[in-house]
Structure formats: C-alpha cells, structure tokens
Amino acid sequence: MNEVTPRRRLIVADDDNDFREMVCAVLENAGYEVLTATNGVEALRLCETQTVDAAVVDLVMPEKEGLETIFEMRRRFPQVKTIAISGGGLGPGDVYLEMARQLGAAAALAKPFGNAIILETIRRLLP
C-alpha cells in the first residue's frame, strides 16, 4: 500500500509584499502549501491555529520583529523549523542573521537570495 506524503506547510513572514509574494510563488510551484504573514504577530497566530513545518521569517518587520518572533516560535513551537532572512536594517545584515542562529533559527539567508537557495534550504530542513 502506498502512503501519500502530506504536503509540507510553510509560513512566509515578511512585510515586503513583492518579496513575500515572490518567495510564496517559488515555494508553491515546488509543491509546498504556503501561509503568509506581514509581521511576527500574524506568524505566531498562524502557528497557534495551523500545523506548520517551517517558517521563513524576515528579521526587520513592524509590530513584532523577526528575532523576537524566532525566539518565541522556537520556545512555543519547537517542531517548526525557522529560517531567518534579512536584507540588513540598522546594521550589517550578517550580524542580525548570526543573532537569529543563536536564538534557534535552523538556517539564515541574506537577501537577495536565489530561488534554488531557498528551496535547497527547506529541503535540507524538511527531508
């Protein structure tokens, strides 16, 4: 009997609409189910109401920024693999990405990144 593997459900949390839609399109075309959030509050709310496998979290967002979101997500929903993304902010982006790793992000990517990079990262985290 063949078992059907359920589609993996991901969250993309980014306040940049164009970037968020581009990442969603890449992930959906690869077969993932994608939920979207424009800030950390919305992303955490989705984790409360949905079964989520991974979350792509921008580090610079309004209401609840990414570092705080990743920390809270790792504490409350440890099964969710988090991927930090950042194009910088008030300082060098790599500093924020390293902080995200220290707070429990499973991966960290500097913007802009190619489609293959995000797909490879998710496939590595969700074998």
pLDDT value for 69: 96
pLDDT value for 127: 82
Residues 104-127 pLDDT 10s: 999 999 998 999 999 999 999 998
- We report the CATH number of the domain holding residue 67 as 3.40.50.2300
Share the mean pLDDT of the chain.
91
Q: Looking at the domain assignment, is residue 3 inside a domain?
A: no
Number of structural domains the chain divides into: 1
Q: Looking at the domain assignment, is residue 1 inside a domain?
A: no
Domain that holds residue 62: 9-125
pLDDT value for 94: 77
pLDDT value for 89: 57
Q: Looking at the domain assignment, is residue 66 inside a domain?
A: yes
Q: Looking at the domain assignment, is residue 86 inside a domain?
A: yes
Q: Is 33 helix (H, G, I), strand (E, B) or coil?
A: strand
- Taken in order 83, 71, 67, 97, the sign of the CA dihedral is negative
Q: Looking at the domain assignment, is residue 17 inside a domain?
A: yes
